[in-house]
Amino acid sequence: MAKSTAKLAKARGGTGIVPKAAAVAVALAGLAALPVFLILLPGMMPAFVTLFVDRQRPRHLSYTVGVMNFAGVLPFILTLAKNGASLKAAAGVLADPLSWLVMYGAAASGWLICGATPPLARLCLELQATHKRRALEALGKAIREEWGDEVAGAQLPAKERPAAAVQAERDRRP
C-alpha cells in the first residue's frame, strides 16, 4: 500500500527526492551565506515575478528580465562579499534606496528590452521577405523573358501564338 502511494505521488509529479534535495541545499546555502541571500532574495524578486507571470514558451521574457535583474544585483553581492558578507552590510545595502533602484531598474530595463525588440524583429523579417520576393520575381521575369510567357503556363492570345500551335489546337478539338 505504501509502495503504491509513493508511485502515485511520483506519477503526479509530486514531491520527489531531487526537488527536496535542492530545497534543502538552497536552505543550507541560505543559512551558510545569509547576508548574500538576504540581498539576493528581495533583489531578484522582479525576476521571480516575471517567471511566475511569463506564459510564453520559450521563456525569453523571464530570461531577459532575470539576466538584467541579476546584472543589477551582482554588484551589491560582490561588494558585500568583498566587505566580509556581514548582516550589517547587507542591511546597509537593503536600507539604501539606490540599491533598490539599481536592482529593480535593471530588471525594468529587461522589460524595456523585451518591449522594444518585437517591432525591430518584425522590421527585420519584413525586410528579409521583401528581399527574397524581389529576388524570386526577378528570376521568374528572367525565365519568362528567355522562354516566353508560355513557360508560366499562360495561354497567349490566338493572334500572338504561332500558327502551328493554333492549328494543332484546332486539330485537337472534337
Binding site for another protein (CB under 8 A): 56, 58, 60-61, 63-65, 67-68, 70-71, 74-75, 78-79, 82, 109-110, 113-114, 116-118, 120-122, 124-126, 129, 132-133, 136-137, 139-140, 143-148, 150-153, 161-165, 167, 171
Q: Which is nearer to another protein, 26 or 152 (CB)?
A: 152
What is the Rg, in whole angstroms, of the alpha carbon atoms belonging to the chain? 33
SS3 132: helix
In the complex, the smallest distance separating the C-beta of residue 129 from another protein, rounded to whole angstroms, is 6
Q: Which is nearer to another protein, 65 or 93 (CB)?
A: 65
In the complex, the smallest distance separating the C-beta of residue 173 from another protein, rounded to whole angstroms, is 14
Q: Which is nearer to another protein, 15 or 117 (CB)?
A: 117
Q: Which is nearer to another protein, 73 or 90 (CB)?
A: 73
In the complex, the smallest distance separating the C-beta of residue 63 from another protein, rounded to whole angstroms, is 5
SS3 93: helix
14-17's contacts with Cβ under 8 Å and 24+ in sequence apart are none
Other CB atoms within 10 A of residue 103 CB:
28
CA distances from 85 to 54, 79, 80, 92 (A): 33, 8, 5, 11
SS3 79: helix
